[in-house]
Amino acid sequence: MKFTRLRFLAASALALTVVAGPALAETTTLRLLTWGNYAPDNVVALFEKKYPDIKVEVTFSNNEEMVAKLRATGGAGFDLVQPSHDRIFAAQKEYNIYKPLDLSKIDTAAMDQKLLEGVKANATIDGQVYAVPHEWGTSGIMVDKSKAPDVKNWADLCDPQYKGRTSMRLRRTILLGMAYSMGKDPFAAYGDLGEYQKILDEVSAKLIACKDNLKTYWKAGDDLSALMLSGEVIASETWDSTAYKLFAQNPNIVFVPPATGALAWIDTFAMPRKGEADDAAYKWINFVMQPEIVTMMSAKSGAIVAVKDGISMMPDDKKAAVQAAFTADDISNLKFFANIPPGLEDMEGKALEKIKAATGSE
């Protein structure tokens, strides 16, 4: 009787183990630090359905905050981040916050090879690659062409005929764009910070003088969208993707590549040095570069995913907006952001604070 009871208990314990086993399987959390709209809920849901042992935890951020967060923790707290291609080299050299990628685990064949090689050129240190491309686009000017048909360049935002109806974001993009409109080449000055400071001083003076022309400084794409759709703002510095999303609602609102060249960016995938879920991170990278997911990503972000024929995979309205914005000459005139040398962002930050203080903006 005792032996039979022991056998029964052992069998019961085994059965419980078999039943409970899958439920107790360890779940991996993929901590993703990315831009708003780069991890849509529907894409996350599909990923978690395909990989039920992975839970995606999303934190939205921007370039400056991403680097600051990783710098503060020595590269801990997240498993996959998405800084722009110019935020890899110097940040890694200064702060050692990323780890090299294992390209054998990434489907690089699906990527646009020019964009891939461009990112690798910017993000290779001692023969090791620290980033690959995800989405790309440009910064330039969004215009309601029915109300401001002559806006063609960054400096036109300061034209008195549009007083009180233009806008810009008080970030480094407007510093660079305005420099180009003033006949300067800010990227060429990166190797001489003394020369770059002179450019910043001239640009700062221009932007301070421009303050009365602005309706406001925009901070988020949704805020700018509301201003454009209401007609309160008729021209603004912006990401092209914001303009693409509005084009379907009002075809008079278009993206205008500045005559001096739109500023081109590539947002990447990079892995923090102390990330703990590398396998899950590689799975996410490959998952979001699949054609059906690419279309979903572009529908949400408005940007172009860095895959072969990425424009053709955009939803029809976004594709039409791109075609309405760019000619072949505009594409050849793109000014890709250059790697940021140490100390340069501190200089830009001081210039932006000077402009902000002069305007009294919040």
Are 27-136+265-325 and 139-263+336-359 equal in CATH topology?
A: yes
Per-residue model confidence (pLDDT) at position 131: 98
80-95 pLDDT, tens per residue? 999 999 999 999 999 9
**Residue among 263, 266, 128 nearest 187 (CA):** 263
Per-residue model confidence (pLDDT) at position 220: 87
Cα 184 from Cα 178, distance rounded (Å): 9
Per-residue model confidence (pLDDT) at position 68: 95
Q: Is the pLDDT of residue 221 over 90?
A: no
Per-residue model confidence (pLDDT) at position 14: 44
Right CATH for 27-136+265-325 from 3.40.190.10, 3.40.50.800, 3.40.50.720, 1.10.3720.10? 3.40.190.10
Per-residue model confidence (pLDDT) at position 328: 87
Per-residue model confidence (pLDDT) at position 19: 46
Interhelix angle for 291-301 vs 278-288, to 10°? 80
Q: What is the mean pLDDT of the chain?
A: 92
Q: Is the pLDDT of residue 15 over 90?
A: no
Q: Tell me the pTM.
A: 0.81
Q: Is the pLDDT of residue 209 over 50?
A: yes
**Residue among 212, 204, 211, 210 nearest 176 (CA):** 204
Per-residue model confidence (pLDDT) at position 362: 44
Per-residue model confidence (pLDDT) at position 25: 62
Average of pLDDT values for 237-264?
95
Report phi then psi at 135, rounded to 5.
Answer: -125, 155
Average of pLDDT values for 36-59?
97
Q: Is the pLDDT of residue 18 over 70?
A: no
Per-residue model confidence (pLDDT) at position 173: 96
Q: Is the pLDDT of residue 20 over 70?
A: no
Per-residue model confidence (pLDDT) at position 239: 93
Average of pLDDT values for 41-62?
97
Quickly state the pLDDT bin for 172 (edges 50, 70, 90): very high
Q: Is the pLDDT of residue 7 over 80?
A: no
3-state helix, strand, coil in the chain (%, to 5): 50, 20, 30
Average of pLDDT values for 11-31?
61
Per-residue model confidence (pLDDT) at position 343: 86
State percent of the chain over pLDDT 70.
92
Quickly state the pLDDT bin for 103 (edges 50, 70, 90): very high
**CATH number of the 139-263+336-359 domain:** 3.40.190.10
Q: Is the pLDDT of residue 210 over 80?
A: yes
Kindly give, in sequence order, each residue whose CB lies less than 8 Å from that of residue 148, ignoring residues fewer than 6 positions away.
156, 162, 165, 234, 235
Query: In the chain, where are the structural domains located?
Result: 27-136+265-325, 139-263+336-359
Per-residue model confidence (pLDDT) at position 319: 93
Q: Is the pLDDT of residue 286 over 90?
A: yes
Cα 142 from Cα 168, distance rounded (Å): 10
| Conformation bin of residue 135: beta by default, left when phi > 0, alpha when psi is -120 to 50 | beta
Tokens of 14: 């085994």
337-355 pLDDT, tens per residue? 999 988 898 999 999 999 9
Average of pLDDT values for 100-124?
96
Report how far Cα 230 is from the mean position of its chain's Cα atoms: 26
Cα 145 from Cα 124, distance rounded (Å): 42
Instruction: Give the angle 155-161-166 at the CA atoms, nearest 5°.
Output: 55
